[in-house]
Chains A and B, each alone.
Chain A
Amino acid sequence: MLLISVLFMWNVTELSSVFRMFKKKHTLFDDRFTKTMCMAITMISSFVLALYIQLLLPANQTGLYLLPIVVGLFIGWKFGTIIKAPAILNGIYNGTMGGIMGMMLGAVLQNPALCNIPIESEAMIVSNMYSLAIFAACLHALISQFIRYSFRV
């Protein structure tokens, strides 16, 4: 669990740095560029953060079980309000979709019998979870690197 918390902090730091850069430079770009970049960063970051939250929350609780979707919706809303009306719909749609998908992947990784995946032993489940979480964090780093590179040129 400590490893997943460290990955969570890393991705939140990266996401906030991208958001601050976006906020500072958004008058330089046209609407199409802003819409595309909002779509890309909203989709991948809400997916990855919802996956981590679903893995970090204890199983079988009822109070917080919609939290990953709410986090995805919040990310989409924040990125959508950078420019006006059509982008906020785009952001909310992509953020909620990413949140639902990340929650589903997290639930399957915690309990592989949901999907008929033939993994039985406890150690296999844990190593499976850690390897996919590290892979998702690397993908998030790659995509935010591409987006930060696109602000420079």
Chain B
Amino acid sequence: MAKITILLILYVDVCIALGFYSYLRRVKKIIGFQLGMNISIVMGGMTALLSGILLIQNYPFHFTLITVITTLLGLTTGALFGLLFDYQTFVSGLTNGVIVGLMSPMIGTVIEMPSLFIWFVHAFFVLCLITIFVSIKRS
């Protein structure tokens, strides 16, 4: 039962990230490079963190494979969000995704109360999204 819940949460996260990407494609003309760099860093890091924790909770016997998958996922997400703006946001989003993706399966293996920690990280993710929306509306 718990595994199905984790897979559902992962699916919802993927949908949120894709929807946010298509929203940013429409409004990218009004976003400056400073906000663009922060958006690419936050989205690459948060995608790598969430996918690392959820995947290592679901399949605890494949540490190496999950580290590789999470790093590639963070790299591509940071690069895609950074390519909306310019070359420097691309490089910084890619690097941050790589670093967080190499670290996040280790966090997932040592936590003691998994459900509480997963809800806390999701609250953090939603808070980041709300902050980004407010900054886009004000710019």
Instruction: Tell me which of A39, A119, A143 contacts B98 (CB under 8 A).
Output: A143
A128/B63 in contact, CB under 8 A: yes
A146/B61 in contact, CB under 8 A: no
A40/B99 in contact, CB under 8 A: no
Pick the interface stretch among A15-23, A66-74, A79-87, A108-116: A108-116
A116/B106 in contact, CB under 8 A: no
- Residues in A neighbouring B37, C-beta threshold 8 A: 36
If over half of A's interface residues share one DSSP class (helix, strand or loop), that class is named, otherwise mixed; here it is helix
Once the chains are docked, how many angstroms separate the CA of A78 from the CA of B32? 31
Chain A interfacial residues counted at CB < 8 A = 31
Once the chains are docked, how many angstroms separate the CA of A101 from the CA of B104? 11
* Distance of B133 from chain A, by nearest CB (Å): 25
Binding site for A on B (CB under 8 A): 37, 60-61, 63-64, 67-68, 71, 75, 87-88, 90-92, 94-96, 98-99, 102-103, 106, 109-110
6 closest pairs, A vs B, by CB?
Answer: A40-B95, A36-B88, A115-B109, A40-B91, A117-B63, A128-B64
26 contacts across the A-B interface (CB closer than 8 A): A33-B88, A36-B37, A36-B88, A36-B91, A37-B88, A37-B91, A39-B95, A40-B92, A44-B95, A47-B102, A101-B102, A101-B103, A104-B103, A115-B109, A117-B109, A118-B61, A119-B63, A128-B64, A132-B67, A135-B68, A143-B94, A143-B95, A143-B98, A146-B94, A150-B87, A153-B87
